[in-house]
Structure 1
Amino acid sequence: MSAAAAGLAARSSQVLRGAAALYGSTVVTAALGFAFWALSARLAIPAQVGAAAAAIAAMQLIGSACTLGLGSLLISELGRDRAARFRLVSAALLVSAGAGLLVGGLGAGGYGWLSAGGWAPAAGGSALYTSAAGVALFAVGCAAQAATNVLDLALVGAGRPGWQLLRNAAFAAGKLALLLPVAALGNLSATAVFGCWVAGSVASVLVVLARTPARRRWLRRPAGPVALRGLGGQAFGHHIINVSAHVPSLVLPMLVASLLGNARNAGFYLAMQIASFGWAITTHLSTALFAVSAREQDRLRRDLRLSLAVTAAVTVAGVVGAAVLGRWVLGLLGPAYPHAWAALVLMAAMTLPAGIKALFISVCRVRGRLGLAGAATVGSSAVEIAAGWYGARHGVTGVAAGMMVAVCAQAVLMWPMVAGAAGLRRWPPGPRWRPPGQRRAAREPA
């Protein structure tokens, strides 16, 4: 075997290992996450579950915003300079956690002040926002969310996908294990559910730290933000893409809670959690592709074709499963949740168009077209939120129907680039993309 062939085989196996680890994280976190919400639904009243879901969605939104694109930046940078890994990762974790702590504290405190003044509706979990301890808990949760988001991508970029799987498994198992003892102390409130989530996140970082051979080095003073000098432009581009791509799934539960009430939001949020089993598959595969810088056109074409086939199969299985078993599964959670069955079927059907969007982002990243990916994701996410808001007049089914129309429309617009990269027939037809080096060579005279 030639050196080039050996290198290609190594990189290809790295793609498979990274994708497998991310898939494993999805299965573990989704399964244990569903168990977490199922147990919460049994131990707490629907209003408290809905309030906790809205608070966690707000924390995830702030945490995603406070990653500042540093996780995706680390994916592209860690493979280039192994000697700088500690400096880059520690600086990124410090910046993201600090931003999450600041923004989360100010956001929770500001919302609590408005609620106390009657400017905003009080939520069932308002203790998170109206007491010093609650505001501090919410701020710590936002810091942990931001830091763990960055850490997960850093582990993938550093070639440690198994550690990423370990962290997510520890997080999912830890928060679930805390529910019963916390509930035994009294009625399970929204604040208690939120606290279990945050505690599991913090514990998962400690588990990864215990596995790190050089943990003494990590416990010393980390590198400061100056270590990221000169990388702000790339980080900003990735940040716009990452945040805008995930905003709808984080904003819509808060919107449903505000417009339809916490009890209705509980069913909507749990239906979304079930549907996320399918949504995450293509997203994780696209992340694995980007992590190994899959720039060879032939390999990218094969991987995209496989991703599209897998996404289509997952969509069919998800729709059939949701249609046949969805009402029963939601009924296991309690009599207040089967109303979200139709929404669950619609969200399961969104797997294919949502997958096309994820692959579109991956192709843009591989080709260095961060501006196009950012503009497309910002616009499509805004339309998806607006469509969900408009559909809310017809209940949670209307919200899901609005989301479905929006993601299908954006998939039609994004399909030409994905099809072209995959070597499939596309409409409208366009010129074949070539790497910049080949384009320059074609323009030069022979």
Structure 2
Amino acid sequence: MSGVGIPARDRRLVLDAYALTASSVGNALTGLLCYVLSARLYSRDVVGQAAGLTAGLVLISAIASLDLHTALQRFLPGAGRSGGRLMWGCYLTAAVASAVVAVPFVLLFGADLFGGRPVWGLAWYPASVAFWSVFALQDVVLLGLGAAVLVPVENLVFGLLRLALLVVFVGGGGFAVFASWLLPVVLLVAVVNVVIWRRVLPRFAAAAEPGPPGWDVGTVARFVGGSHIGNLVGVASANLLPLIVVARLGTEGNAVFYIAWMVPYSLRMVAFNFGSSLLVHGSVDPAQIPSLLRTALRRQATLLAPVVAVILLFARPLLLVFGPAYAQAADLLRLLTLSLLPIVVVSAYLPIARVTGRLFEAVAISIVCGVAELGVSWFGLTHGGLTGLGAGYLAADCVVALLVLPRLAAFLATPSRARHAAPSAAFAGLTGAAAGRGSSPRRRGRRRAEKGVRR
């Protein structure tokens, strides 16, 4: 690869990460507007029923998606002409698994969420979850195919359609509010996939380098088998922490915690988005991981450093906007904001571990981080209230980051070309053992083909 190609790949990583971050910001803003509009236009019973239906949909999808979004980030960029087959396989697997897992949810909550008619709920709710799972995978497909710029456009349209339908369906019940969420999903699944299959995928396949694909069904299955466990621990860590606060401090204490929690947790999406982009572009050319990593860390520092500084200096005035009672969580907000620094380290190393075949290591880091965050936060909460929780959360992330930092520093300290052999060798050896016969020879053949093209 020429010297001109390296900064071009770095620029694409940054642009893709910015596109994902813009999408996250747009989702947060339109979601907030939808919440405010729902509260103004509908009764609390209606809003509560719709919230239960949508929360169940998102939770079931997270459980049943099998972390296929990470598998697509890892394997789709190098899939070449077999990319369509990989996409269909992931779509179908996620949709079927989501529909199956939704069945016991409907039976369990039929009386509360489905008006006492679970059979009626079975007629449409599993299909709704299946559509949502495919909708969630579309963002990753666009990223993997080099069309991440469409992600914020897609999600902006989704948010605006939700807002419009909330107004149109005024006077309806909880199912009407839920329909304002679901109907845009169905429409965008159809429209976006037409664009993908007719425009984006053919262009991606035509530009693919010759050589066998870097995946097969067994390799992907083994990859998601471990990755899904780590993903579930991360989901549990994010969603159980507010419940722990409720159990200890009650709903009023949780309200104070939640405002301080959501601001830094939303900022974590910057690190997660750069990690996703690093996984995609590192999978295309592992030789450039050190260069990509340095670029990702520099850009994250540029984005996050001013925000962190503002929150540290003005945590109390910022919380006073929500009311005097919330200002007591100023120290909690500062501590949770500081946890962004170690999480950047962790989220930067996880994609590298996945690209270089250190799958067990990536899963172990995710599990240890999630369990430590919950455990140490609970200990801090019981001994020091909300400030103790924040200190425990920060301490847990710092310990994990210190364990990861030496491995990350090894990539930062080595030039891209000098590092080429190490990731390739590690990937061939570790994935050869994990994925079985056939995986390593295909990758060796692919590298030989790539070298021939570069010459």
Quickly name the TM-score band, shorter chain normalised: 0.7 to 0.9
Residue 108 of structure 1, CA deviation? 5.1
Map 1:5-404 onto structure 2 (within 5 A): 5=3, 7-39=5-37, 59-107=57-105, 109-110=107-108, 112=109, 126-127=112-113, 132=118, 139=126, 142-182=129-169, 184-185=170-171, 196-209=180-193, 211-212=195-196, 214=198, 228=217, 231-257=220-246, 260-261=249-250, 264-266=253-255, 268-293=257-282, 299-323=288-312, 341-393=330-382, 398-404=388-394
The whole-number CA distance in structure 2 between the counterparts of 1:322 and 1:47 is: 36
5+ long unaligned stretches in structure 2:
202-215, 429-455
Identity of aligned residues (%): 27
Residue 373 of structure 1, CA deviation? 0.8
5+ long unaligned stretches in structure 1:
117-125, 218-226, 425-430, 441-446
TM-score, normalising length: structure 2: 0.72
The whole-number CA distance in structure 2 between the counterparts of 1:194 and 1:327 is: 36
Q: 1:264 and 1:241, CA in 2 relative to 1: closer, same or farther beyond 3 A?
A: same
**8 A contact 1:170–1:203 mirrored in 2:** no
Residue 250 of structure 1, CA deviation? 2.8
Which deviates the most, 280-289 or 294-303? 294-303
Residue 364 of structure 1, CA deviation? 0.8
The whole-number CA distance in structure 2 between the counterparts of 1:379 and 1:360 is: 14
Q: 1:30 and 1:327, CA in 2 relative to 1: closer, same or farther beyond 3 A?
A: farther
**8 A contact 1:289–1:362 mirrored in 2:** yes
Deviations 1:232-262 (CA, angstroms, capped at 9, x unpaired): 1123233334333343113323444555555
**8 A contact 2:282–2:352 mirrored in 1:** no
Residue 174 of structure 1, CA deviation? 3.1
The whole-number CA distance in structure 1 between the counterparts of 2:52 and 2:319 is: 19
Residue 369 of structure 1, CA deviation? 0.4
Which deviates the most, 84-93 or 316-325? 316-325
**8 A contact 1:57–1:254 mirrored in 2:** no
TM-score, normalising length: structure 1: 0.74
- Amino acid corresponding to residue 281 of structure 2 in structure 1: V
Q: 1:322 and 1:137, CA in 2 relative to 1: closer, same or farther beyond 3 A?
A: farther
